[in-house]
Amino acid sequence: MAAAARARVAHLLRQLQRAACQCPTHSHTYSQAPGFAPSGISTDYAFEMAVSNIRYGAGVTKEVGMDLQNMGAKNVCLMTDKNLSQLPPVQMVMDSLVKNGINFKVYDNVRVEPTDRSFMEAIEFVKRGAFDAYVAVGGGSTMDTCKAANLYASSPHSDFLDYVNAPIGKGKPVSVPLKPLIAVPTTSGTGSETTGVAIFDYEHLKVKTGIASRAIKPTLGLIDPLHTLHMPDRVVANSGFDVLCHALESYTALPYHMRSPCPSNPITRPAYQGSNPISDIWAVHALRIVAKYLKRAVRNPDDLEARSNMHLASAFAGIGFGNAGVHLCHGMSYPISGLVKTYKAKDYNVDHPLVPHGLSVVLTSPAVFTFTAQMSPERHLETAEILGADTCTARIPDAGPILADTLRKFLFDLDVDDGLAAIGYSSADIPALVKGTLPQQEGSVFSERNNRASILDQTPHPILMVATAALCTEASNRQRQAARQAGKNKLIFQAGFLKPLEKNIYISNQNISFLRRAVYQNEHFHSLADRPAEMLFYECAKSSSQDLFQCPC
């Protein structure tokens, strides 16, 4: 039975892999067109590691001018956003450039959560500037924008979609030499200073996509913990949630030797290859740092030890997921952040609606790891223990629920927003959220017929995973609300599911079990086929009523 459950989870992860998730950072796909496996080999047998050079230390930013001088740079593009352009990290970089006689121009029009349009604006700027080196000062948005600008300035005749990940773009391999790029991260979340990816919102389709190639990773990452002292508490929290999920997902990703197809040439081996012994080390170490320091870093802006360690954890997790990949938390986060309407997160000084990436990722994490635990229960128990759970008497079948409950308590302690309704979504948005969760194929139409066909084919469909997440998330949120109303300081958990604090508030084990059976087995598929998946998701995620979601059978 356990073997069958593991096989079902592995099958779903492979389905997502083969479907070419639109975001290359958070899947096992790669921008280059895949090769076919050598005769007789269906899964890979090798993995490789690629990472930027990293330099860490308080005040290390002041060395950037000397680094550029050593590289022979004569004309440098300093890229940042308008908020950071007025803050000490950028000033420290400019002082170093001036001191070392480096000619530079500033581009400060980076958009937080960049789009194809904001990428192209940066590309046009750098093409006009004829720069021979780049410095990116900021979070993932700045570093990713600078990577893309460097790429297209180095390949000036390429169409924008040439290097964009398939199926949105053509996914061509990067064969041109790029200029040196030094990344100076000022947040502790994305790990972009270590990876060869650049992520953006493709506005026409309202989906996340990006460029993935080892060729675009920064030449050098300067990790200076002094920059983290300028981060507001919610920025620290949301950045930390990204580190948390990078570590958890890469450690529980499909193992590299189970990934298919096996490449016929090393150049077609994906950058994100599945969990592997080296990535595992970085992921687990990052998770230990998150468990020890994230709450301290959020609660005390002057805690240099905590914020310094979270800055390192971001890079460690970046090395881990940058070579292993992540999975469902990130896959389901794209429509949550990409379809935002009016929500503006606290502590983010932007002129457009914004759901921070880390927040959109972590909201579904308890449900995701309840599901994936059947693939590697020992790893899920190990990570739960790292995060503070007592697993001495834990049973292997309870690994997922134990990790899920541990995550819920961790998030509750950090005052995470109460579900999708709190960030501006309603039941009317569910069809669009479901559509955005599915891997996008050019020209495809997301229709009721397509939903029914996938269900009737008895294929474990990602949309049902989203429904499971909605169930668990709503239960968690309602429990938190009830606990607050009752003046309780601690949450109560039972057998991996939520113990009701009030009658008729929480979703029953029976309903959760039903949905799991629908995902894992063919049981009930005939009933689900009569109800569009959007309706199933709607009923799972509705939050305005105190009534429980009832089994659609």
Contact criterion met (CB below 8 Å) for 173 and 128: no
CA distance 68 to 74: 8
As a dihedral over the C-alpha atoms of residue 263, residue 264, residue 269, residue 273, rounded to 10 degrees, the angle is: 20
CA distance 490 to 340: 31
Using CA atoms, how far residue 153 sits from 119, 483, 542, in Å, is: 12, 55, 47
**Which residue spans of the chain are classified as CATH 3.40.50.1970?**
53-228
Residue with tokens 């983010």: 348
What pairing do the DSSP bridges indicate for beta strands 53-56 and 103-107?
unpaired
Q: Which CATH code of 1.20.1090.10, 2.20.25.10, 3.10.20.30, 3.40.720.10 fits the domain covering 233-448+462-480?
A: 1.20.1090.10
CA-angle at 215, arms to 158 and 236, nearest 5°: 105
Q: 481: which 2 tokens? A: 């609300």
CA distance 307 to 187: 10
**123-128 long-range Cβ contacts below 8 angstroms, 24+ apart:** 123/148, 123/149, 123/152, 123/153, 123/160, 125/77, 125/149, 126/77, 126/150, 126/152, 126/153, 127/152, 127/153, 127/156
CA distance 221 to 54: 5
CA distance 85 to 63: 19
Determine the 3-state secondary structure of 223 from DSSP: strand
As to burial, measured by CB atoms within 10 angstroms (0-12 exposed, 13-18 middle, 19+ buried), residue 504 is exposed
Question: Torsions phi, psi of 156, nearest 5?
Answer: -65, -20
What is the reported pTM? 0.75
Architecture of domain 53-228: 3-Layer(aba) Sandwich (3.40)
Per this entry, what is the length of the chain? 553
**Which among 373, 383, 364, 379 is positioned nearest to 474, based on CA atoms?**
364
Walk along the chain (553 residues) and give the pLDDT tens digit of each residue.
566 666 666 665 665 555 434 443 344 343 343 444 444 568 899 988 888 899 999 999 999 999 999 999 999 999 999 989 999 999 999 999 999 999 999 999 999 889 999 999 999 999 999 999 999 999 999 999 999 999 999 999 999 999 998 878 998 989 999 999 999 999 888 888 988 889 898 888 777 788 988 899 999 999 999 999 888 999 999 999 999 999 999 999 888 888 888 888 887 787 778 899 999 999 999 999 999 999 999 999 999 999 999 999 999 999 998 888 888 888 778 788 888 888 888 888 777 888 888 998 888 788 788 888 888 999 999 999 999 999 999 999 999 999 999 998 999 899 888 777 778 877 777 777 767 765 433 222 222 223 323 322 333 344 444 444 443 444 444 444 454 444 433 332 222 322 322 222 233 344 444 434 433 333 322 333 333 333 333 433 433 222 222 222 2
CA distance 249 to 403: 13
CA distance 425 to 293: 32
Provide the pLDDT for residue 24: 38
**Which among 519, 547, 376 is positioned nearest to 454, based on CA atoms?**
519
CA distance 470 to 467: 5
CA-angle at 27, arms to 23 and 30, nearest 5°: 75
- The dihedral sign for the CA sequence 260, 261, 264, 267: negative
Provide the pLDDT for residue 75: 97
Bridge partner residues of 207 (DSSP):
202
Bridge partner residues of 220 (DSSP):
53, 182
Name every residue whose Cβ is closer than 8 Å to that of residue 322 and which is 6 or more positions away in sequence: 50, 51, 191, 194, 195, 196, 197, 271, 272
Provide the pLDDT for residue 551: 27
Contact criterion met (CB below 8 Å) for 136 and 79: yes
Q: 187: which 2 tokens? A: 């947040």
CA distance 318 to 323: 8
Using CA atoms, how far residue 85 sits from 110, 188, 420, in Å, is: 10, 18, 33
Name every residue whose Cβ is closer than 8 Å to that of residue 352 and which is 6 or more positions away in sequence: 111
**Which residue spans of the chain are classified as CATH 1.20.1090.10?**
233-448+462-480
Determine the 3-state secondary structure of 411 from DSSP: helix
